[in-house]
Amino acid sequence: MIAVISADLLSSTSYSQELLEKVINSLNQEFKLINKLFPEDSGFKIFRGDSFQGIIYDPGKALKVAIQLKTSINRIHLHEDEVNKAFRKEADLRLAIGIGTYDFKRDSIMEANGQAFQYSGRTLDEMKKENRKIQLKTPVENVNNEFDTSLLLFDTIADKWSTASAEVIYYLLRDLKEADIAAELGISQSAVNQRKKAAGWDAIEKLLTRYEFVTKEHFSNGE
């Protein structure tokens, strides 16, 4: 079993050239970071200018990767002369995680196929008809039902993030400590802690722990 993440940029036609360039550059940088986390190449690649897809061979890590990708985009703003301030999010992603078999392997992920690819791609298409930003589809209906509710609640939390909140969550997902984040951003540790609480990190951390436990219980990594 593998996990496939399919995603597209929300309302990308309204992005300025400057914003779109920052988003694309950020995504490409994240793809490199993700590849360093796992022994297998994830194959993440942007296509059509506003969509991408990649494989996570450890399904238990797929949600963390998806939220890391999301926050890497949510933290972007064009106010370069006003660092470390909170702004309204200017860019966002719609993400679908599909867990299933990997039946047709090719050198290019764009030519690969299987249950995980179908679940991920079809779910992303269905999400376009709804106001959902992250969803999960697996062969186990009980798992789907549990995380349909949990991820809807996550959407509600994430929709309230500012760019500053998203940035702190991004670094927490990369396993940085509060003191390290403070040094990275040039702010106090107490400010990091306040942003962390405001962004709902405790609930997100519990969601990630639950997701990893459930997916590891039901799905074998890479098999």
Round to whole Å and give the CA distance between 130 and 202: 27
Domain contains 16: yes
Question: Which pLDDT value is given to residue 128?
Answer: 85
List the alpha helices (DSSP H) in 78-200.
115-127, 141-158, 163-173, 178-185, 189-198
- Let me know if residue 174 belongs to a domain: yes
Q: Tokens at residue 211, please?
A: 């997701």
- Residue the block writes with tokens 């985009």: 73
Residue 72 lies in domain: 2-218
Q: Which CATH number characterizes residue 126's domain?
A: 3.30.70.270
Of residues 68, 77, 70, the one with CA closest to residue 164: 77
Q: What is the pLDDT at residue 141?
A: 96
Per-residue pLDDT tens digits of the chain, which is 223 residues long: 999 999 999 999 899 999 999 999 999 999 999 999 888 888 899 988 899 999 999 999 999 999 999 999 999 998 876 667 788 999 999 999 999 987 656 555 555 568 899 999 999 999 988 889 999 999 999 999 999 999 999 999 999 999 999 999 999 999 999 999 999 999 999 999 999 999 999 999 999 999 999 999 988 654 4
Whether 25 is in a domain gets the answer: yes
- Domain membership of residue 32 (yes or no) is yes
The per-residue pLDDT for 111 is: 54
In a domain, 223, yes or no: no
Tokens (6 digits) for 131: 């106001």
pLDDT score, position 131: 85
Strand 93-100 and strand 45-47: the pairing is unpaired
Structure tokens at 104: 């047709």
* Secondary structure class of 49 (helix, strand, coil): coil
- pLDDT score, position 105: 62
Residue 45 included in any domain:
yes
Which burial class, exposed, middle or buried, applies to 187 when counting CB atoms under 10 A from its CB (0-12, 13-18, 19+)?
middle
Q: Does residue 98 belong to any structural domain of this protein?
A: yes
Q: How many domains does the chain contain in total?
A: 1
Task: Supply the pLDDT for residue 220.
Answer: 63
* Helix and strand counts by DSSP (H, E) for the chain: 8, 5
